[in-house]
Chains A and B, each alone.
Chain A
Amino acid sequence: DIVMTQSPDSLAVSLGERATINCKSSQSVFYSSNNKNYLAWYQQKPGQPPKLLISWASTRESGVPDRFSGSGSGTDFTLTISSLQAEDVAVYYCQQYHSPPPFTFGPGTKVDIK
């Protein structure tokens, strides 16, 4: 099974500053046949279900603010919030969905306001 790790476990960033979250997979989640990375990022606010922010490592979902961006390939990925807003306080998870299952999640990174 592919193991996902995230760093840091938590971070506190001032409003308007950049937040960077790293995600690493134990093996590559890149398919050369279609040139895609099978990696998603989710945001979970307290008391709410997760919300898909980014799929295929860098494709922002409809309605997601453009301050959120995803990058990386193979085994190393990054979620960047370019200018942190109060409403971005949440836990962020990466997930690999490279076949075959299980489609494992990272342990999560908690983002707070400094």
Chain B
Amino acid sequence: EVQLVESGGGLVQPGGSLRLSCAASGFTFSSSWMSWVRQAPRKGLEWVATIKQDGSVTYYVDSVKGRFSISRDNAKNSVYLQMSSLRAEDTAVYYCARTSSNNWAASPSYDWGQGTLVTVSS
């Protein structure tokens, strides 16, 4: 059974930083692209970032480019989202998702974690 468990969320002041983690199990982590998707309170879903199996390719939504960084550690079956210069509009539940297992990022998100809440407020 695929399990994705996010952690690291919490309350942070505007301009601050936070690092989210996602621990994966139940599938061959090193063979999968991984993504982060967020959902602001009472709002829809927004794709945030995606990383290739070996970490060599990453993609970001424009609104987080230069502020967020996705990375992974295949030895620990974990993917991370380093968030800096946080803004109120970054407040959301952040979901980790398993995506493609081929050479291309173009894939639906097959499995999702329960999410971790990030609140940016003074």
Give A contacts to B, CB under 8 Å: 1, 38, 40, 42, 44, 48-52, 55, 61, 93, 95, 97-108
Contact = CB atoms under 8 A, between A and B. Distances in A.
- Chain B contact-residue range equals 20 to 34
B44 A40 contact: no
Given A93-B45, A102-B61, A108-B44, A51 B105 contact: no
10 contacts: A40-B109, A49-B115, A93-B45, A95-B109, A97-B108, A99-B106, A103-B105, A105-B44, A105-B45, A105-B46
Interface of B: 35, 37, 44-47, 50, 59-62, 95, 104-115
Contacts, number: 66
B44 A93 contact: yes
Contacts of A40: 108-109
Given A42-B45, A103-B50, 19 more contacts: A44-B45, A48-B114, A49-B113, A49-B115, A50-B37, A51-B112, A52-B109, A52-B110, A61-B110, A93-B45, A95-B108, A95-B109, A97-B106, A99-B106, A101-B59, A101-B61, A103-B35, A105-B46, A107-B44
Q: Helix, strand, loop or mixed for chain A's interface?
A: loop
